[in-house]
Chains A and B, each alone.
Chain A
């Protein structure tokens, strides 16, 4: 089935630890890729996105992600997390074949990864 998989459901790190959250998708063809973040009690905000070009994209707050087409992956990384990074992180994919092909779903979300950073 077509899907977006986030393998880490709940991650607990200490401040200054490095972070890598996995995201894999199962669509061929052109895709737009996103990472959204939801801080406690807030709405989703865009962290970073990849549409084309350099597969290593940098987002806000020191986050970056690398698109590896051969692995259908778009993993999120941060070298040193802070307590304020505690949030839920969602990977999302827009497959062009679905978006323009009349499919019911345009932006497919993973189930999210809850990150807790301990001070």
Chain B
């Protein structure tokens, strides 16, 4: 039981490049989330998927898109990376929207 897995662990991009962060969970959870963590700001929700087939914007969605590929997988795409998107990105999942969230190990992204 791996929990929540994320790939890649580290990534360096140049401004304007695109990339997709992958997330998968093996706990049969309904809800999945993408957060970014910046120093002094805690975690901020980018997008979430309350259940398979649905996605919704979180607090800071600009510059990102998501896909809930199936119940297990939830990807985050940066279409045209900007230095302001340098951050650590965490994926999380929970059985229901108000339940305990379980976090992946994170992706440290640097945009030059």
* Cβ B97 vs Cβ A111 within 8 A: no
Determine the interface band of chain B, counting residues with CB < 8 A from chain A: 20 to 34
Instruction: Tell me the residues in window 64-109 of chain A with beta carbons closer than 8 Å to chain B beta carbons.
Output: 90, 94, 96, 99-100, 104-107, 109
A34 and B100 within 8 A (CB) = yes
Q: Name which of B13-21, B36-44, B62-70 contacts chain A.
A: B36-44
Where chain B touches its partner, the secondary structure class is: loop
Chain B residues within an 8 Å CB radius of A90: 42-43
Q: Are B97 and A99 in contact (CB under 8 A)?
A: yes
* Nearest 8 CB-CB pairings of A with B: A109-B42, A44-B103, A111-B42, A109-B43, A43-B105, A43-B103, A94-B98, A99-B98
**Residues of A participating in the B interface, judged by any CB pair closer than 8 Å:** 9, 32, 34, 36, 42-46, 49, 90, 94, 96, 99-100, 104-107, 109-112
**Quick one: which of A36, A105, A107, A112 has the most chain B CB within 10 A?**
A107
Q: Is the CB of B90 within 8 A of A43?
A: yes
Task: Give Cα A44–Cα B37 distance, bound, in whole angstroms.
Answer: 11
C-alpha gap A42/B29 in the complex (Å) = 22
Q: Is the CB of A110 within 8 A of B103?
A: no
Indicate if the CB atoms of B42 and A106 lie closer than 8 Å: no
Closest chain B residue, CB of each to CB of A110: B42
Q: Tell me if B101 counts as interface (CB < 8 A to partner A).
A: yes
Contacts of B57 in A (CB 8 A): 104
Whose C-beta in chain B lies nearest to the C-beta of A49?
Answer: B100
Judging by beta carbons under 8 Å apart, are B90 and A44 in contact? yes
Q: Report whether A106 and B40 are in contact in the complex, using a CB–CB cutoff of 8 Å.
A: no
Which residues from A are CB-within-8-Å of B101?
107
